[in-house]
Each structure stands twice: as structure tokens, then as C-alpha cells.
């Protein structure tokens, strides 16, 4: 997109955003809302850069957890999805368990994860992976299976072995489906990381938010939210870029 | 005909449906000679596509005997080229790499066949499109690419299942001429073609013989020799002989006595 096209596409968003910010700032000063209830945008902006502590360790920990959860979900999801697509027997055996795990409220598992894995970033990663892996399983299985019968017949005519059909036809066919699921996983990984930090942690943006409850430093909580969404958006953007790069034939496939 | 490449004797096919067994094909006996162009004509659902897949060894017949090049067909047979109603090109591969797919699937060196693939694309009028993705080509061009793919390994037998069925009428007539040219109407070494269609005019225009199949269960209703001169030209469509043969096939299809 050219610059003018970008401006044309996004100016309504930018205008609305600016308007809301202005209203917010105005409301806070005009109605004299106390900062611990609702800090002004200016205070949030200050907290983003100077919170009385360094953001870096928290940003680092949370990013690590999110990226770790994302890759865990991606690898486990693709592996399970492939197993499901490979053989109906595996699919029949596995699917009920996967659906069961998926229906469990993950937050309820968080304390168990702490008992089993211990404190640190690992249980938080597992948490994010648990929330985000299921769509990857489903989309991988669907993408690997949705190949025209005629195309498979073509493979049979040339007596192509099963692995070759997988490699040359099924896997490329599944790629857009997988990348589409990973967009959901990217968001789920963020949720998982924050939930994990809420339950037990000594660092991370979720930890910072939990602490503002006692310190009444609401501006810092707002600033944390902005940092979290920045990390989430960055990961989401990377997945979208990867989709454009690796599956350009499937632009717009969801 | 000197030798028969395809020999079907009393072939029947019954499959299990929810409402009980369905007889799709019954008592089909048919010989196709080497180098012959034979069309199977019949209404939708008469089992002609199933018959094509039985000959390819992709589906088993439940009755009778199927022989190709003197050997009983029990599993998918190599050395055939298949063209379906949809081009079913792989969306992520360039046209050239789609044409080379059979080589890769069959475990042959695709690199060595690159020149042949390019020559086929040239012949099909797709010379400038080798590096394009399928979605950048029209339906007719995609189907021509699918034909090139079927021809890559130079199979002696081409099985075509309503290959032009999804194309508009004008493109369809052009493709018929194109197919005859590629088939080698003017050269000596012609491939054997079994061509499924529901268009009478298309069958008569292309074929040496038109085999009419009636539906439920599919049976051979007539085997009509098309004694029109080759190479076939557009003008042929206006000739009296062409009209008469069209009517013969039509009569056989509708079961009207002459």
C-alpha cells in the first residue's frame, strides 16, 4: 500500500482513537476522577516509560513465556493434527481426549501445573500452550485431509508412497490452514502467559498488574496492558507475515 | 483394429448404499484398439466415470474381467494419463512444477523431464505461463496445463473424464481441436484415448467410435463408428454426415428406434 492509501484506509481509526483519548483526558480533569480509579492518558503515558521500576525484566519474561507457549502449542498441535490425519485409528483414539482437554477451563488447571512443574516460566508456557493448541490440531488435520479425491487418485496411478503424498500434496495443502490457526494461538499464548503470572510468579507483566492492586498504582496497570497488547500484536503480525511469505497462494483463506 | 489395448468383458459394478445395493454398471463388454479415440456418452449418473476409474484400476469392478494391454487390472495401472473435469492443479506450484508432478510422484527425475514439460506447455499454447501460479490462468488454460501433466510421462493410454465439462461452449470447441492436434491426428503414433462426455457433438467430433451408455445400471446401448475423415476441421460440424451421426447417437441415447 502506498502512503496515501494507508492514510485513506486508516484515518477514521486514527481520528476515533484521538477523539476517545481527548474525551478521556477531558473527563478525568473535568470530573476530577481520582487517579487510582481512572488515571489520565498522560499519566498512563508517563507510566509506560517511568514506572518507578524497570519494565525490561518484566517485558522480557512475559515475551519469553508468550513466545514459548506459542511454539509449544504450534509443535504439539501440528504433531497431534498430523497423527489424527495419518490414521483413522489414531483419530478415533485421540480425538475424545483432545476435546476433553479443550473443554477444561485452563485457569482451573493452573494450580495443578504449579504443583507438577513448579514455579518459573515453564508452567506459564504450558498454560498458554494448553489454551492455544487445539485450533492447530483441528486445522492441521483438516488441511491435511482436504485434498481432492481426484488428486489422490493421481497419486495412486503413479504408485506414490504415502509419505510422498504427505510431503508434496497434503502438507503444502495444510500450510494455510495451520497458519490461520496460529493466528488464534498467538492471541491464546498471551492470555495463557498473563493467567499463569496471575496465579504465581515473581516477574512479568501479569505480576506487575497483580501488584498494582495493593499499591493502587492504576496507571502502571494501564501501562502494562499496553505493553501486553504490543507484544501480542507483534506476534500476531509475525504470523500474518509468515502466512503471506509461505502461503501466498492462499491469501484470504480462513 | 489390430490389437486391443482395453478389453472389458461383462463388467459389472454394484455398490452398497444406505438404501441397499445399487447396480451402477451391468454387463459392459467393450474393446478399445491401440491408437483409437473412443468416447463414452451417456446422461449424468450412468456410471461412465466409474467405468473409467475401473479401467484405471482405481476402483474394483464387482463382476467381469478388465484387461489393459493383455493384463488383468487389479490395482492402479501405471502408464496412463488422467484428465478430470476439474484441472486439480496444486495451487502452490507453478504451472511448470504442476506439469512435472507425475514425475515426482512416480519417483522419476523431474529435472530430466523439464525440457519435455516446457515443450508440452509450448505446444498447448502456455509457453509464457510456465512460472505462473494456477490462479493466474483462466479455466481453459488450467485444463490445458492438466492435459500437459497427463502427457508428461508419454502414456500410451489417456483416460479423460469430462475434461471440458466445466468450460464455456466456445473454449470447449477450441479445446476439442487442440486435443486432436496434441493427440497426434496428423502423426503416426497416436495415443489410445477413452473420453467420457455427455456432449453428443463433442463425442462425434473427436472420436473414431462413440459408445452410448444408458443409465441405471449402465449398459452399452450402442457402439457407433464415426467414419468422418481426419484431420477433423471446424467446417466438419456443418456437414450432413456430422449431423446424421449426431442424430444416430441421440437416437441410441434416447432409445428411439430408427
Whether residue A35 is preceded by a cis peptide bond, meaning omega within 30 degrees of 0, is no
Grid look-up 459408445 returns B211
Q: How high does pLDDT run on average in chain B? A: 88
Q: What percent of chain B has pLDDT over 70?
A: 97
Q: Which residues contact A21 (CB under 8 A, 6 or more apart)?
A: A41
Secondary structure (DSSP) of B195-257: EEES-HHHHHHH-SEEEEEETTTBEEEEEEE----SS--GGGGGSHHHHHHHHHHHHHHHT--
Look up residue B124 and give its three cell numbers. 498447448
C-alpha B225/C-alpha A93 separation (Å) is 57
* A148 contact residues in B (CB cutoff 8 A): 86, 88
pLDDT tens track for B36-60: 999 999 887 778 888 999 999 999 9
Grid look-up 456443418 returns B238
For A168, which DSSP code? Answer: I
Give the pLDDT of residue A254.
42
| Per-residue confidence in pLDDT tens, chain A, 254 aa | 688 888 888 899 999 999 999 999 999 888 888 888 889 898 899 888 887 888 999 999 999 999 999 999 999 999 999 999 998 899 999 999 999 988 888 888 888 888 888 888 898 999 999 999 999 999 999 999 999 888 888 888 888 888 999 999 999 999 999 999 999 999 999 999 998 888 878 888 999 998 888 888 888 999 999 999 999 999 999 999 999 888 888 875 44
What average pLDDT does this structure show over B181-199?
A: 82
Give the pLDDT of residue A239.
94
How do the domains of chain A map onto residue ranges? 56-250
CATH 1.10.10.10 for the A56-250 domain, yes or no: no
Look up residue A239 and give its three cell numbers. 504470523
C-alpha A157/C-alpha A153 separation (Å) is 6
For B39, which DSSP code? Answer: E
Q: SS3 for A245? A: helix
Give the pLDDT of residue A49.
87
- Asked if A154 and B107 come within 8 Å (Cβ–Cβ), the reply is no
Sheet holding B4-17, edge to edge: B20-33, B4-17, B63-68, B71-72
C-alpha B57/C-alpha B45 separation (Å) is 20
Q: B137 vs chain A: nearest CA distance in angstroms?
A: 13
B107 close to A (CB below 8 A): yes
Model confidence at B258, in pLDDT bands (50, 70, 90)? very low
- Asked if A157 and B78 come within 8 Å (Cβ–Cβ), the reply is yes
∠ CA A138-A125-A85, nearest 5°, is 20
Report residue B211: phi and psi, to 5°. -100, 120
Amino acid at each position: 500500500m502506498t502512503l496515501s492509501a494507508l492514510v485513506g484506509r486508516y484515518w477514521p481509526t486514527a481520528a476515533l482513537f484521538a477523539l476517545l483519548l481527548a474525551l478521556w483526558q477531558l473527563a478525568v480533569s473535568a470530573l476530577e476522577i481520582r487517579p487510582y480509579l481512572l488515571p489520565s492518558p498522560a499519566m498512563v503515558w508517563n507510566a509506560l516509560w517511568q514506572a518507578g521500576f524497570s519494565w525490561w525484566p518484566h517485558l522480557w519474561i512475559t515475551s519469553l513465556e508468550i513466545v514459548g507457549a506459542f511454539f509449544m502449542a504450534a509443535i504439539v498441535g501440528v504433531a497431534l493434527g498430523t497423527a489424527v490425519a495419518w490414521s483413522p485409528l489414531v483419530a478415533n483414539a485421540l480425538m475424545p481426549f483432545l476435546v476433553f482437554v479443550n473443554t477444561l477451563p485452563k485457569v482451573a488447571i493452573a494450580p495443578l501445573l504449579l504443583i507438577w512443574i513448579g514455579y518459573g516460566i515453564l508452567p506459564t508456557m504450558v498454560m498458554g500452550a494448553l489454551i492455544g493448541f487445539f485450533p492447530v490440531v483441528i486445522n492441521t488435520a483438516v488441511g491435511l485431509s482436504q485434498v481432492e479425491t481426484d488428486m489422490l487418485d493421481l497419486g495412486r496411478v503413479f504408485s506414490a508412497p504415502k509419505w510422498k503424498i504427505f510431503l508434496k500434496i497434503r502438507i503444502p495443502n495444510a500450510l494455510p490452514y495451520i497458519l490461520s490457526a496460529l493466528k488464534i494461538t498467538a492471541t491464546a499464548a498471551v492470555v495463557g502467559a498473563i493467567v499463569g503470572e496471575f496465579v504465581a510468579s515473581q516477574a512479568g507483566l501479569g505480576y506487575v498488574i497483580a501488584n498494582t492492586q495493593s499499591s493502587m498504582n492504576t496507571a502502571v496497570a494501564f501501562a502494562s496492558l499496553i505493553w501486553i497488547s504490543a507484544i501480542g500484536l507483534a506476534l500476531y503480525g509475525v504470523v500474518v507475515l509468515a502466512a503471506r511469505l509461505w502461503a501466498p497462494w492462499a491469501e484470504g483463506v480462513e | 483394429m489390430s490389437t486391443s489395448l482395453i478389453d472389458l468383458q461383462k463388467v459389472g459394478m454394484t455398490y452398497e448404499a444406505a438404501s441397499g445395493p445399487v447396480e451402477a454398471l451391468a454387463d459392459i463388454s467393450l474393446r478399445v484398439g491401440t491408437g483409437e479415440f473412443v468416447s463414452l456418452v451417456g446422461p449424468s449418473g450412468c456410471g461412465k466415470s466409474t467405468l473409467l476409474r475401473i479401467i484405471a484400476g482405481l476402483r474394483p469392478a464387482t463382476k467381469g474381467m478388465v484387461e489393459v494391454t493383455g493384463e488383468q487390472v487389479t490395482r492402479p495401472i501405471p502408464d496412463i494419463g488422467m484428465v478430470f473435469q476439474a484441472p486439480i492443479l496444486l495451487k502452490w506450484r507453478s504451472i511448470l512444477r504442476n506439469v512435472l508432478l507425475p514425475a515426482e510422484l512416480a519417483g522419476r527425475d523431474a529435472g530430466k523431464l523439464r525440457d519435455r514439460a516446457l515443450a508440452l506447455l509450448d505446444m498447448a499454447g502456455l509457453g509464457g505461463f510456465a512460472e505462473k501460479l494456477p490462479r493466474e490462468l483462466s479455466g481453459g488454460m488450467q485444463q490445458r496445463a492438466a492435459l500437459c501433466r497427463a502427457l508428461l510421462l508419454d502414456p500410451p493410454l489417456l483416460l479423460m473424464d469430462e475434461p471440458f465439462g466445466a468450460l464455456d461452449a466456445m473454449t470447449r470447441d477450441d479445446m476439442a481441436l487442440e486435443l486432436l492436434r496434441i493427440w497426434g491426428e496428423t502423426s503416426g503414433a497416436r495415443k489410445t484415448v477413452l473420453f467420457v462426455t455427455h456432449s453428443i457433438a463433442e463425442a462425434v467430433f473427436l472420436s473414431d467410435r462413440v459408445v452410448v451408455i444408458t443409465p441405471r445400471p449402465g449398459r452399452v446401448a450402442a457402439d457407433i463408428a464415426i467414419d468422418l475423415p481426419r484431420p477433423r476441421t471446424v467446417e466438419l460440424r456443418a456437414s450432413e454426415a456430422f449431423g446424421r451421426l449426431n442424430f444416430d447417437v441421440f437416437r441410441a441415447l434416447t432409445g428411439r428406434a430408427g
